[in-house]
Amino acid sequence: MKCSITIIFFITLNSNFIYSQTTNSHLYKVLDSLKFITRDIMKKLNIPIRSNVGKDDTLQISIYPSKFTTADYGQKMIFPYIQSKKSIDTVNRWYKEPTISISNSIDSAIKYRVGYKYYINSLSSIIHELVHYYQLSYIDESEYLQPTNQNFQQHLKQSIELEAYSTESYFYLSKFYINDLKKIMRMNVNDFEKRKALCNKANEIKFPNKKEFILK
């Protein structure tokens, strides 16, 4: 499965792969509309957004070569550092050089719109990373569980991942399975159960043979 978040203060990005806003205007145009969509879905799912997003550097997109539909989010630094507590003020944090890295497969799918489902899946991946960029929830790198085939349940149950997967699932269901989406959104359950239901429905449709992707 795609995506892993990079919550490290210094990430290694090959600057050759960071595309400029002028040469990749198609991506930045898409990013602009996805930002709006992501924030709208996060609001519907009661997922809090960082209040200091406005202090961030401009969000960049970088592209790396891969045949998979994968994406990643990271930033160079997180502010502010509180000297007295020798830690980061995570509630009021903002980012230096925030970057969403996408595979060139995602870039091509968006640029040439090869197959509607593939196109929507590619947009979903960027929405997932946009949630990591916007979300107030925070998990320290040392406590974050990277996904493997064996621990996908535990990976997905982490607050930051459940927020990201449920938002991209909402987007996916809204494009193809609107009645299922409406049914879930009408459920009288808490936020955790609703987010879980969204992820499970989307994963059940996308990966019918992967029972391990369904949260209990």
**Interface residue list for Zn ion (CB under 5 A):** 3, 5, 164
Nearer to Zn ion (CB atom), residue 3 or residue 130: 3
Pair type for strands 71-74 and 60-64: unpaired
Closest approach of Cβ 22 to Zn ion, in Å?
Answer: 29
What is the residue type of 111? Answer: K
Nearer to Zn ion (CB atom), residue 56 or residue 163: 163
Closest approach of Cβ 200 to Zn ion, in Å?
Answer: 17
Closest approach of Cβ 95 to Zn ion, in Å?
Answer: 16
Q: How far apart are the first and last CA of the chain?
A: 18
Nearer to Zn ion (CB atom), residue 155 or residue 201: 155
Q: Which residue minimizes CB distance to Zn ion?
A: 3
Nearer to Zn ion (CB atom), residue 83 or residue 127: 127
Closest approach of Cβ 163 to Zn ion, in Å?
Answer: 9
**48: cis peptide before it, omega within 30°?**
no
How open is the CA angle 30-54-91, to the nearest 5 degrees? 115
How far apart, in whole angstroms, are the C-alpha atoms of residue 109 and residue 211?
28
How open is the CA angle 95-164-216, to the nearest 5 degrees? 145
Nearer to Zn ion (CB atom), residue 142 or residue 188: 142
Closest approach of Cβ 96 to Zn ion, in Å?
Answer: 21
What is the residue type of 216? Answer: K
The DSSP H or E segment spanning 45 is none
